[in-house]
Amino acid sequence: MFRFLSMILLLSTIFIVGITAELKPLNDKTTVEIMNKLPVILIPSTYVFLICILIFVSLIFWLFKLWQNRFEQPKKLLIGRTLLFNTSLILHILCIFLWHYELFTFMISAFIGLLGISAALYFSYPKTENHISERIPISLYFGWNVFSFMFLSNYTLTLVEWTGWGISQALWSVIFLTVTTAVGLHFLYHYRDLAFNSMIMWGFISIAIKNGFDSLFVTTASLFLTAVIAACYFIFKNIETHKVTSSKK
């Protein structure tokens, strides 16, 4: 009982902190105000954060199913997932505070830890458990964290005036987008994880909307890579269907 109460408490805390940080800004600065301080190309449109509501609701449902099926799972596995989930939320709350107080280098360090913990929680599920009551809510959360890390790291590099080895900011943005797409395709191919990739596609579209015609190169790349992910989903699905059909013959 204590384990589930701690998970509910931390999930509620991150929701309250996230909302409060915008309504009554921490350090008197909202997320959008901080984002717009620098001329960074790889920044999503503000609507992108609406997806956090879906992620929050899905995690509530995940907790409910975890509680409902608690006697059907090995105790060690349940304890492990509880520890990983709680640690990820604590790190996420820490990242919110570090962001608002503009301690970006520390935030990136904390976010790397968050990614590692989120990945460990994700991999605690077998490849085939892509169900709404199993890995999908964690996939949404993990995918969102991967996308967030992409633009937050790019933002931090701009802040510290990284030269980019002579490569333009627009080209580096496309490189960041391409690497993130490669990560998404890995999970799409090996785990058939559309939920994870939906977070990346959602984010890429928001970057395209934010840039519009101001940075047509990045906008085009964002939309193109979104289409690549969508096309690969159907390609991988057809390959899997063909393999199943061939094995039955």
pLDDT at residue 187, as a whole number: 94
pLDDT above 90 for 201? yes
Residue 248 has pLDDT above 70, yes or no: no
Convert the pLDDT of each residue in 24-70 to its tens digit: 778 888 888 888 888 888 889 888 889 999 999 999 999 998 888 88
- The yes-or-no verdict on residue 153 having pLDDT over 90 is yes
Phi, psi of 103 (to 5 degrees): -100, 70
Q: What is the pLDDT of residue 71?
A: 78
What integer pLDDT is reported at residue 246 of this predicted model? 65
Mean of the pLDDT values across residues 150-164? 87
Stretch 74-81: mean pLDDT:
89
Confidence grade of residue 214 (pLDDT, cut at 50, 70, 90): confident
Per-residue pLDDT band for 131 (boundaries 50, 70, 90) equals confident
- Stated pTM of the model: 0.92
- pLDDT score of 249 more than 60: no
